[in-house]
Structure 1
């Protein structure tokens, strides 16, 4: 008979394992010695130890499900309880019991983790729904559309909730996206209609601009082009594929007109510059007539100069006041000389001047006598009053005498 601390083989070849409940039959061994029998069943024990160790490692370090882990534990427990191995079977049962506790702990941890993940996923999806509903009213079509697409990608990356909650949140999320898409579609449909209307308006403006491009009515046509440009700006933009072509035609028509006008104006400016030179020469000749000593000769000379002046065309607008002012100054001097000559040779005017002078001289003489009389009478106040009146009459007399001198008097 052979034995070790955990088992023995009796004389009949029966192998026993020692347990807390007494010896249990492991099996029968007839093919060799008792030592070989114990070694065989000890190796079976070592195999169970290895399997339990591997299962412990899988439970601790992998994502083995609780169900699969418990199935493996029960399979090993059955083998231990079958007493087909020699060794400390009680120790194996203790390890299996602890393994069950570990599996239960991991199950609770995973349940808590799933609950936490579910709560986080719910909060994340509620936040996505809230943002999507806010974006549904946005007019930032490009930015909002891109953001909504990004929200969909984020949603797909989140774990599912329970079916009811997930379906309710998805319905709100999808409804917000649909509302935005509907508004955007309506906006661009309206925009397309506006652009089509702008295209028609601009085609009409282009047709008129092209019809005016050969006009030689410079002022009226230039004004009309300004009006057409204002209408163009007010019309808004046409579709992209039409806008540039319409603008090039519109601008091209204007360029044809303004190039022609510019050429004509350049010729006119050159002519007017030459006219200015000629008029400045005439103004210089006219100014040499001053001061006027021979009115008749000066009048004839100025008349001849003025006829030559009128025969010359326009001068540049900004130079016109100065050169015309020079001629007008000579003309005013001529008129003043004529008025002076008229006054000098007018008998009626001379008689009126002589009469006025005589009246004023008589008044001065009379006041002088009254002043002398007042002082003789000792009335100084009256004398001073009469002197002030006398000063005024003398001033008028001086003016009258100067006027009379113009008549050679």
Structure 2
């Protein structure tokens, strides 16, 4: 008989393992000697021992979850308990049983981790719900949609919590998204409707602007273009691509008209340049009357200058303010001297002042009648001339009335 501490080989070749309950036959090895048979079944035990050692290391290192570890221990324990091997099988079983407290501790730690993760997930989901509801109540129609998509991705990445709480939070989260989407669609539908309305308005404005582009009624057309621009701004935006195209049409019509007006004005300015030369010379004569020493002579000279001034016609726009200002300064100086003389004159001059008022009023009435006819005829050049004449006579009339009032005191 061949044997060791944990087994033996009987004379008939049967191999036995020693256990606490007694010997148990584990097989035979007819192809070899008794020593070889015992070595064969001892190597089987060594393989089991290695598997137990490996399982111990994996469980101790946390490579297996508690439930997987318990299942693996149970499987290996069943293999060891009924193993056809020679060795300290009871010792291996003891080592496997000794893993139970470690697995229990790991199970408890895993349970605590899950509870902590669940609490963190619940807190995170509540925060996501709060932000989603805030977005749903707002009007950030572009950034809000992107943010809600980010929040949904974050929700999906979080672990589930207890079913009731998870379902309740999801209902709120989903409801916020649905509410926001519904309001967003309504907003853009309303915006599209407004933009289509703006499109119709702007198309009409473009049509009118293009019809006016060739007009030569510079003043009235310019005023109408200002009205059209006001209506354009009030209409609001049309769809982006359409709005750009309509604006290009509208702006093109404006540019055509105002470009033509600028060209016409430039031509007039060139035509009126010689008039400015004449008025420069007249201003030299008028300003030479100052200071006034002989009022009657100054008035007579100024009337002659005024007639020639009116006959000289329009001047370039850039010179108009300067020239008119200098002439008004001379006229005001003459009127001031006249006022002073009237204040010091005898009663007979009151009658002359009244007569002057009457004549000026009659002259102004005639100029106003001529002005209305010129406007009706569309004669802009004559209108401008008569307006200048009327302004000058009204200034004289104002002075005459003040003088007449002074004499009547």
Say whether the fold is shared (TM-score over 0.5): yes
Residue 225 of structure 1 pairs with residue 229 of structure 2: no
After TM superposition, the structure 1 = structure 2 runs for residues 79-94 of structure 1, keeping only pairs within 5 Å, are 79-82=79-82, 84-94=84-94
| Higher deviation after alignment, 192-201 or 68-77 | 68-77
Structure 2 length-normalised TM:
0.70
Closer/same/farther in 2, CA of residues 328 and 282 from structure 1, 3 Å limit = farther
| Higher deviation after alignment, 249-258 or 110-119 | 110-119
Q: Secondary structure at the match of 2:142?
A: helix
Give the Cα–Cα distance (whole angstroms) in 2 for the partners of residues 110 and 199 of structure 1: 65
**Structure 2: gaps of 5 or more residues:** 350-409
Query: Does the aligned pair in 2 maintain the 1:215–1:257 contact within 8 Å?
Result: yes
After TM superposition, the structure 1 = structure 2 runs for residues 273-312 of structure 1, keeping only pairs within 5 Å, are 273-285=273-285, 307-312=307-312
Closer/same/farther in 2, CA of residues 332 and 270 from structure 1, 3 Å limit = farther
Count of residues paired in the alignment = 343
Structure 1 length-normalised TM:
0.70
After TM superposition, the structure 1 = structure 2 runs for residues 7-406 of structure 1, keeping only pairs within 5 Å, are 7-11=7-11, 13-20=13-20, 23-27=23-27, 32-61=32-61, 63-64=63-64, 66-82=66-82, 84-285=84-285, 307-315=307-315, 316-323=320-327, 325-326=329-330
CA apart distance, 1:183? 0.7
Query: Does the aligned pair in 2 maintain the 1:279–1:323 contact within 8 Å?
Result: no
Indicate the structure (1 or 2) with the bigger Cα radius of gyration: 1
CA apart distance, 1:257? 1.9
Give the Cα–Cα distance (whole angstroms) in 2 for the partners of residues 331 and 247 of structure 1: 54
CA apart distance, 1:245? 1.6
Closer/same/farther in 2, CA of residues 279 and 266 from structure 1, 3 Å limit = same
Query: Does the aligned pair in 2 maintain the 1:286–1:330 contact within 8 Å?
Result: no
Closer/same/farther in 2, CA of residues 168 and 331 from structure 1, 3 Å limit = closer
Give the Cα–Cα distance (whole angstroms) in 1 for the partners of residues 147 and 256 of structure 2: 49
Give the Cα–Cα distance (whole angstroms) in 2 for the partners of residues 127 and 156 of structure 1: 14
Query: Does the aligned pair in 1 maintain the 2:298–2:334 contact within 8 Å?
Result: no
Q: Secondary structure at the match of 1:200?
A: helix
Give the Cα–Cα distance (whole angstroms) in 2 for the partners of residues 339 and 279 of structure 1: 32
Q: What CA RMSD, in Å, does the superposition of the two structures yield over aligned residues?
A: 3.8
Query: Does the aligned pair in 1 maintain the 2:9–2:37 contact within 8 Å?
Result: yes
Q: Secondary structure at the match of 1:141?
A: coil
Q: Secondary structure at the match of 2:137?
A: coil
Q: Which residue pairs with 1:401 in the alignment? A: none
Query: Does the aligned pair in 2 maintain the 1:287–1:330 contact within 8 Å?
Result: no
CA apart distance, 1:111? 3.0
CA apart distance, 1:147? 0.5
Query: Does the aligned pair in 2 maintain the 1:18–1:24 contact within 8 Å?
Result: yes
Closer/same/farther in 2, CA of residues 166 and 91 from structure 1, 3 Å limit = same
Give the Cα–Cα distance (whole angstroms) in 1 for the partners of residues 118 and 234 of structure 2: 56
CA apart distance, 1:160? 2.5
Closer/same/farther in 2, CA of residues 287 and 157 from structure 1, 3 Å limit = closer
Closer/same/farther in 2, CA of residues 176 and 287 from structure 1, 3 Å limit = closer
Closer/same/farther in 2, CA of residues 339 and 298 from structure 1, 3 Å limit = farther
Closer/same/farther in 2, CA of residues 292 and 112 from structure 1, 3 Å limit = closer
Give the Cα–Cα distance (whole angstroms) in 1 for the partners of residues 330 and 296 of structure 2: 21
Query: Does the aligned pair in 2 maintain the 1:125–1:169 contact within 8 Å?
Result: yes
